[in-house]
């Protein structure tokens, strides 16, 4: 919701905003773009994006939270430009049980690409099985995946 405030030129009050580190970082990023940000009563934040001055969030802030990528649509809509550093947040992938609600080629490919670097095994259920998805899996298991792991090598 805080990133969505960039879509509107003016002041917006948002309620039930938790006082946690990621929220504080996002508010600092909005301030760095020129927005006026203030906290009101418990859980209320007011964001005024009228004085938006920049299109490039502070890399030190953006690299601390994944949510910084959500600044992109508002910046593009308001200024026609958005330059974002790599978003931060959790940097470690762990294997998981993944059930895809829809047998989607793109969702399967993204899940497989992320799983290649996971520290543990990932099991994907309801995955797409088109020939090009199978080709990607073979390529990753024989081609680049061994190189992506420390001490790995390609054959």
Q: Which residue has the tokens 């809509």?
A: 77
Choose, from 28, 58, 90, 101, the residue flagged as catalytic. Answer: 90
Torsion from C-alpha of 86, 39, 6, 2, nearest 10 degrees: 60
Catalytic (active site) residue 56: no
- Whether 32 and 54 have beta carbons less than 8 Å apart is answered as yes
Q: Give Cα 71 to chain centroid, integer Å.
A: 10
Catalytic residue ranges:
90
């Amino acid at each position: 919701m805080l990133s969505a405030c960039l879509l509107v030129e003016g002041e917006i009050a948002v309620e039930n905003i938790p006082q946690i580190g990621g929220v504080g970082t996002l508010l600092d990023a909005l301030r760095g773009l020129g927005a006026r940000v203030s906290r009101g009563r418990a859980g209320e934040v007011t964001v005024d994006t009228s004085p938006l001055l920049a299109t490039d969030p502070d890399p030190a802030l953006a690299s601390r939270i994944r949510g910084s990528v959500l600044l992109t649509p508002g910046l593009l809509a308001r200024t026609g430009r958005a330059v974002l550093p790599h978003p931060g947040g959790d940097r470690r992938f762990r294997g998981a049980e993944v059930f895809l609600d829809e047998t989607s080629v793109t969702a399967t490919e993204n899940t497989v690409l992320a799983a290649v670097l996971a520290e543990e095994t990932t099991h994907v259920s309801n995955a797409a099985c088109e020939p090009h998805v199978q080709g990607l899996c073979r390529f990753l298991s024989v081609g680049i995946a061994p190189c992506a792991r420390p001490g790995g090598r390609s054959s």
